[in-house]
Amino acid sequence: MNRPKVFLDLDRTIFDTDRAIEFWQVWAKYYDIVPEMCVAERDQFYIWKDETYMHDMSNQLRSYGIDSNQAYRQVIESEMSDGRLEMPYASELVTWLKGVADVAVLTYGPDDYQRCKAALCLSLVGIPVVTTLQPKLEILRESGDCWLIDDKDLGVKPPDNIHFVQVISPDDIVVQDKPWPIYSSLKAVKEYLYENLY
Ligand SMILES: [Mg+2]
């Protein structure tokens, strides 16, 4: 039997993106910066596209005269890479999925910064990471039958080959019915996949 293909989003699905502000604490050991100021200036480096934004971390680092590749290496070599920045239950979900499916990360954003964040997730070791600046549905349209686990509302009903499961923060309120299952924890997502993956 073919193993199902499962694509996992990175930001706010596997990686706790809200805690990326802690990177500045690491960089403050190497560079003459004030972490709180850098955090406050983040929104000057947002790139908006189609009602969604990404933080251009490399550009922000460069604006302080910091080599972004070196900075990402410093984070990866720091205590940040001990798994502390993974979302709750990410490790259990990914470990289980590795045994039953072909798993890949599919993440939207600049390649260098996305790979830095993925490298901090211990559970993703050995899993391919695909980064894109195109809408994910365009990428997956040609992927055959596959699953996508993502915190972001797709906006439109996906094509039939894409089985989408949304994972939202427990604090978020679902305002309307969606044509896909929505869960507020990765534990609940795992239970759903356990019943439906095959
Ligand atoms: Mg996300």
**Distance (Å) from CA 164 to ligand 1 centroid:** 13
**Distance (Å) from CA 23 to ligand 1 centroid:** 19
Helix residue spans in the chain (DSSP H): 23-27, 35-40, 57-63, 68-76, 90-100, 111-119, 136-140, 186-196
**Distance (Å) from CA 106 to ligand 1 centroid:** 10
DSSP one-letter code for 197:
-
Backbone angle region of 23, left / alpha / beta, with phi > 0 → left and psi within -120 to 50 → alpha: alpha
Identify residues whose C-beta is under 5 A from ligand 1, the ion.
9, 11-12, 151
What is the token pair recorded at 3?
């193993």
Q: Residue-wise pLDDT tens for the chain (198 aa)?
A: 689 999 999 999 999 999 999 999 999 999 999 999 999 999 999 998 877 788 999 999 999 999 999 999 999 999 999 999 999 999 999 999 999 999 999 999 999 999 999 999 999 999 999 999 988 999 998 889 999 999 999 989 999 999 999 999 888 877 678 999 999 999 999 999 999 998
E strand residue ranges, 109-181? 129-132, 146-150, 162-167
**Distance (Å) from CA 91 to ligand 1 centroid:** 17
Please state the pTM of the whole predicted model. 0.94
